[in-house]
């Protein structure tokens, strides 16, 4: 009988049997420092006791209640609590299961609310792998190759990436906003443009932070033209960057906020937040899904919020992020191959380039694989997979950051 593989491609050969905080263990009980956190998902660490208890309790009461028929307590509690953390003016939530699904919900809402067909996204942006979300993605050719035709109505405009042309942040921002105006005059005129979709920090695109001026420029153009500003906080939300939302670093004021990953510590849950007035414009029946807002996932999300608050995890992300950044910069200073350490909070990337200055995905992969051998799990990102990223759970401690930095230095 043919042996079935559970994955298309496996980056590291670890088969995890259990997780505890920032550690994963394999069948031989070998311990790994997990600085991937399930791609930034297990925000409170693996199997945080508070999250486990909330989920276990909920499993015994009600696993699933579909919200077109019944509402359930964990959903209502979560919505209530979200009110404490959402940016001002976003007073309604709608829940889905994955980041891509939430992006599609935001796209549907933006098109229905404005009656306009197009969206503008930004170079290096990643919004997911479903066909519409992949159509809005430009962080690497691999995310769209081979399954065209994609969704029509997407224009991609530059993101302010200073490293790319060796510019200052101001130069990169001015260029990005000029190009956006050009796009709005030519390829997608305002009357045809429903929304801008932007990440506060490019995630899969290589951990490049936006700028305050860029977000302000988007807001101003959105207001001037009746375009909606959709901020994709799938990877940057829930404390990851040292603030609750990544957009807070840049004064972002979204019309629609998209969230997923960190919100339920590993249970599949995502959603969009917008004002009541905007949400009312969704056509009845056009949003929804069988599993969205699952009761166990919602209970886990409420527990995640409790842990984030009671353990001060947003502040911890800032402090441990600063510690980690310093250590990574020290290693980068000793190796010409690492040309940039960037990101915010506990969302940090190391860019590898070759002697000619070209992005070097092969070098990044070699170091990633060596680190795994030494017991430190890491992921890559960036259009050429040339960035090795560090995204540990937000509960990571000072000693664990030191340990990871030491293993990293050894691997490099
Ligand atoms: N948006 C951003 C910014 C992401 O980083 C991701 C996933 O990495 C997505 C959307 C898609 O999320 P999912 O993989 O849960 O569909």
| Nearest 10 degrees: Cα torsion 6, 9, 15, 18 | -80
> Sheet of 347-352: strands edge to edge?
338-344, 347-352, 387-390, 379-381
Position 5 scores a pLDDT of 62
For 165, other C-beta atoms within 10 Å of its C-beta total: 9
pLDDT at 45: 98
123 - beta bridge partners?
Answer: none
E strand or H helix that includes residue 21: none
What is the pLDDT, as a whole number, of residue 6? 63
Q: What does 340-373 look like in DSSP terms, one character per residue?
A: EEEEETTEEEEEEB-TTS-B-HHHHHHHHHHHHH
Contact between 338 and 412 under an 8 Å Cβ cutoff? The reply is: yes
Ligand 1 mutation target, pool 38, 126, 132, 259, most atoms within 8 A of CB:
126
Confidence of residue 130 (pLDDT cuts 50, 70, 90): very high
Please tell me the distance between residue 267's alpha carbon and the centre of ligand 1 in angstroms. Answer: 14
Tell whether the model's pLDDT for residue 10 goes beyond 60.
Answer: no
Side-chain-side CA neighbours of 54 within 13 Å: the count stands at 24
| Cα 221 from Cα 179, distance rounded (Å) | 13
Distance 351 CA to ligand 1 centre (A): 21
Structure tokens at 95: 């829940």
List the domain boundaries for the chain.
16-47+312-411, 51-310
Sheet holding 228-232, edge to edge: 92-96, 270-274, 256-259, 228-232, 193-198, 118-122, 154-157
124 has pLDDT over 80: yes
The Å distance, Cα 238 to ligand 1 centre, comes to: 14
Ligand 1 mean position, distance from CA 230 (Å): 14
Contact between 286 and 108 (Cβ < 8 Å) = yes
Using alpha carbons, select from 397, 395, 407, 321 the residue that is nearest to residue 49: 395
Task: Please give the pLDDT value at position 165.
Answer: 82
Instruction: Measure 271 CA to ligand 1 centroid, in angstroms.
Output: 12
- Alpha carbons within 13 A on the beta-carbon side of 381: 28
CATH architecture of 51-310: 3-Layer(aba) Sandwich (3.40)
Binding pocket residue ranges, ligand 1, CB within 6 Å: 39, 98-100, 103, 126-128, 199, 203-204, 232, 234-235, 260
What b/e string do you get for 221-255 counting C-beta neighbours within 10 Å, with b at 16 or more? bbeeeebbbbbbbbbbbbbbbbbbbbbbbbebbbb
What is the signed CA dihedral for 174, 106, 263, 20, rounded to 10 degrees? -90
Task: State how far Cα 145 lies from the chain centre.
Answer: 22
Among 238, 277, 235, smallest CA distance to 109 is for 277
As a whole number, the mean pLDDT across the chain is 96
* pLDDT above 60: residue 8: no
In a mutational test of the pocket of ligand 1, which residue from 198, 261, 268 has the highest number of ligand atoms less than 8 Å from its CB?
A: 261
Sign of CA dihedral 302, 307, 312, 314: negative
Q: For 16-47+312-411, which CATH class?
A: alpha beta
Q: Is the pLDDT assigned to residue 1 strictly greater than 80?
A: no
Residues forming a β-bridge with 390: 348
> Would 16-47+312-411 and 51-310 be classified into the same CATH topology?
no
Q: Ligand 1 center to residue 134 CA distance, Å?
A: 10
Per-residue pLDDT tens for 223-254? 999 999 999 999 999 999 999 999 999 999 99
Mutate to test the pocket of ligand 1, among 127, 209, 379 (most ligand atoms within 8 A of CB): 127
Q: Give distance in angstroms: CA of 29 to centre of ligand 1.
A: 31
Distance 281 CA to ligand 1 centre (A): 25
Which of 246, 251, 247, 249 lies closest to 236, judged by CA?
246
Exposure string of 8-34, with b = 16+ CB inside 10 Å and e = fewer, is: eeebeebeeeebebbbbbeeeeeebbb
Partners of 198 in the beta sheet?
231
pLDDT at 285: 86
Nearest one of 228, 227, 219, 221 to 106, comparing CA atoms: 228
Reported as a single tens digit per residue, the pLDDT across 47-66 is 999 999 999 999 999 999 99
Buried b (16+ CB within 10 A) or exposed e, 44-63: bbbebebbeebbeebeeeee
Q: What pTM does this model have?
A: 0.97
Say yes or no to pLDDT of 12 above 80: no
Instruction: Read off the tokens for 211.
Output: 């700028």
Averaged pLDDT, 283-294: 91
Residue nearest to atom 1 of ligand 1 (CA): 127
Residue 11 pLDDT > 90: no
* pLDDT tens digits, one per residue of 336-346: 999 999 999 99
Which residue pairs from 319-322 have beta carbons closer than 8 angstroms and sit at least 24 positions apart in sequence?
Answer: 320/346, 320/392, 320/396, 320/397, 320/398, 320/401, 321/241, 321/242, 321/345, 321/346, 321/347, 321/348
Q: What is the DSSP letter of 5?
A: P
Distance 41 CA to ligand 1 centre (A): 10
Q: Whose CA is nearest to atom 5 of ligand 1?
A: 235
- Closest ligand 1 atom to residue 236 Cα is 3
Average pLDDT over residues 377-382: 97
pLDDT confidence of residue 141? 87
Q: Which residues contact 192 (CB under 8 A, 6 or more apart)?
A: 116, 117, 118
Q: Which whole number is the average pLDDT over 311-334? A: 98
Residue 2 pLDDT > 60: no
pLDDT at 136 over 60: yes
**Ligand 1 atom with least separation from CA of 270:** 15
Q: What is the mean pLDDT of residues 101-118?
A: 98
Atom of ligand 1 nearest to the CA of 258: 1
């Amino acid at each position: 009988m043919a042996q079935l593989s559970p994955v298309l491609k496996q980056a590291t050969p670890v088969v995890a049997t259990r997780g505890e905080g920032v550690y994963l263990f394999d069948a031989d009980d070998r311990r790994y420092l997990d600085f991937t956190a399930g791609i930034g998902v297990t925000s409170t660490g693996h199997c945080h006791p508070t999250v486990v208890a909330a989920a276990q309790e909920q499993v015994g009461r009600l696993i699933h209640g579909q919200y077109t028929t019944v509402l359930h307590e964990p959903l209502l509690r979560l919505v209530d609590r979200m009110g404490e953390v959402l940016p001002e003016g976003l007073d309604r939530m709608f829940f889905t299961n994955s980041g891509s699904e939430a992006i599609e919900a935001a796209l549907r809402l933006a098109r229905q609310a404005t009656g306009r067909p197009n969206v503008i996204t930004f170079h290096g942006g990643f919004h997911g792998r479903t066909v519409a979300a992949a159509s809005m993605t430009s962080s690497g050719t691999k995310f769209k190759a081979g399954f065209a035709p994609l969704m029509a109505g997407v224009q991609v405009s530059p993101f302010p990436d200073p490293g790319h042309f060796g510019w200052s942040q101001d130069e990169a921002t001015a260029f990005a906003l000029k190009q956006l105006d050009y796009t709005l005059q030519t390829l997608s005129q305002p009357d045809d443009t429903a929304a801008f979709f932007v990440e506060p920090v490019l995630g899969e695109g290589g951990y490049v932070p936006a700028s305050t001026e860029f977000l302000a420029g988007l807001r101003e153009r959105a207001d001037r033209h009746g375009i909606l500003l959709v901020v994709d906080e799938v990877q940057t939300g829930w404390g990851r960057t040292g603030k609750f939302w990544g957009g807070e670093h840049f004064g972002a004021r979204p019309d629609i906020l998209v969230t997923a990953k960190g919100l339920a510590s590993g249970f599949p849950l995502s959603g969009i937040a917008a004002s009541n007035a905007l949400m009312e414009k969704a056509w009845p029946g056009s949003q929804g899904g069988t599993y969205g807002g699952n009761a166990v996932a919602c209970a886990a999300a409420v527990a995640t919020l409790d842990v984030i608050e009671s353990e001060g995890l947003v502040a911890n992300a800032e402090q441990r992020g600063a510690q980690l950044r310093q250590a990574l910069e020290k290693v980068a200073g000793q190796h010409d191959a690492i040309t940039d350490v960037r990101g915010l909070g506990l969302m940090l990337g190391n860019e590898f380039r070759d002697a000619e200055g070209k992005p070097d995905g092969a070098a990044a992969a070699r170091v990633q694989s060596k680190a795994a051998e030494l017991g430190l799990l890491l992921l890559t990102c960036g259009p050429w997979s040339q960035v090795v990223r560090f995204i540990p759970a937000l509960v990571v401690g000072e000693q664990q950051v030191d340990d990871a930095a030491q293993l990293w230095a050894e691997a490099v």
